[in-house]
């Protein structure tokens, strides 16, 4: 996975193409580039999920993510559509939190990840959700599609399905999956769900222009969701 420099200037200068765009290939095939975020507390398995999805690999070693990494996965969605997913794996440790605004920019969907064996990481979901909704909206003011991932379902469970379903109901999250990066459980399905949501929301054409990062002053209006 590629490490992302922790300054917006470097990030912009290193981009070879826009974060989210639509191009027509020579063969009349539509090609999309979608930026997805993977967020949640440290150690919940964000990097492991991204690695599982993009490389088909898993390691039991924990190597903390510094700042953010990203990885690309190309999907031949249908005979007319190719999708390049840019998965941004955001460091979960609080000391990197000050950069989330930059990392979230131009995202069109997000996976919120917690560790199903650690209740505290589930309780943090509200904070991550609020942060995301405050900082990223579509041009019509709606929030980007979100999926909740209860990761490490291959080990002991500390959060029940009922608790997860209730959280989703109360917070407007339409889907959640019990995942295991280790056993490759539901990782593809969760990502597929997000792609379908983005495509069906018809934000695929000129996505970049349809996403805007809210200014700090606007954020204050919505900050109540975390209270």
Ligand X SMILES: Nc1nc2c(ncn2[C@@H]2O[C@H](COP(=O)(O)OP(=O)(O)OP(=O)(O)O)[C@@H](O)[C@H]2O)c(=O)[nH]1
Q: What is the contact surface with Mg ion in residues (CB under 5 A)?
A: 47, 65
**Residue 206 Cβ, how far from ligand X at the closest point, in Å?**
32
Question: Which DSSP string do the residues of the chain spell out, in sequence order?
Answer: -EEPPSSHHHHHHH-SS-SSEEEE-TTS-EEEEEEEEEE-STTSSHHHHHHHHHHS----------SEEEEEEEEEEETTEEEEEEEEEE--SGGGGGGHHHHHTT--EEEEEEETT-HHHHHTHHHHHHHHHHHEEETTSPPPPEEEEEE-TTS---S-HHHHHHHHHHTT--EEEE-BTTTTBSHHHHHHHHHHHHHHTT--TTHHHHEEEPPHHHHHHHGGGG-
Q: Among residues 47 and 180, whose Cβ is nearest to Mg ion?
A: 47
CA distances from 150 to 35, 189, 191, 194 (A): 21, 13, 14, 15
**Should residue 92 be labelled a site residue for ligand X when binding is judged by CB under 6 A?**
yes
Q: Among residues 48 and 198, whose Cβ is nearest to ligand X?
A: 48
Site string for ligand X, 108-147 (x = CB under 6 A): ----------------------------------------
One of 16, 60, 156, 224 touching ligand X (CB under 6 A): 60
Q: Among residues 45 and 145, whose Cβ is nearest to ligand X?
A: 45
Among ligand X, Mg ion, none, residue 60 binds (CB under 5-8 Å by kind): ligand X
**Should residue 181 be labelled a site residue for ligand X when binding is judged by CB under 6 A?**
yes
Among Mg ion, ligand X, none, residue 151 binds (CB under 5-8 Å by kind): ligand X
Query: Contacts with ligand X: how many residues (CB under 6 A)?
Result: 23
Q: Among residues 92 and 145, whose Cβ is nearest to ligand X?
A: 92
Q: Among residues 83 and 187, whose Cβ is nearest to ligand X?
A: 187
Q: Which residues bind ligand X (CB under 6 A)?
A: 42-48, 59-62, 64-65, 91-93, 151-152, 154-155, 180-182
């Amino acid at each position: 996975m590629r490490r992302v420099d922790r300054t917006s200037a470097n990030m912009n200068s290193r981009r070879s193409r826009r974060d989210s765009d639509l191009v027509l290939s020579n063969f009349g095939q539509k090609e999309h580039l979608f930026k997805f975020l993977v967020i949640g507390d440290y150690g919940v398995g964000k990097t492991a999920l991204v690695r599982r999805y993009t490389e088909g690999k898993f390691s039991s070693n924990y190597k903390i993510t510094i700042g953010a990494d990203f990885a690309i996965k190309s999907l031949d969605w249908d005979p007319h559509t190719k999708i390049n997913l840019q998965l941004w794996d955001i460091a979960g440790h609080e000391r990197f939190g000050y950069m989330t605004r930059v990392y979230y920019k131009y995202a069109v969907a997000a996976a919120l990840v917690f560790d199903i064996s650690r209740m505290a990481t589930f309780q943090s979901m509200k904070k991550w959700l609020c942060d995301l909704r405050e900082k990223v909206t579509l041009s019509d003011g709606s929030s980007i599609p979100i999926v909740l991932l209860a990761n490490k379902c291959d080990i002991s469970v500390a959060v029940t399905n009922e608790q997860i379903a209730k959280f989703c109901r109360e917070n407007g999250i339409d889907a959640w999956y019990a995942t295991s990066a280790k056993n490759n459980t539901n990782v593809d399905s969760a990502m597929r769900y997000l792609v379908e949501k983005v495509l069906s929301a018809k934000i695929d054409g000129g996505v970049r222009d349809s996403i805007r990062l809210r200014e700090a002053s606007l954020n204050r209006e919505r900050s109540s969701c975390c209270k």
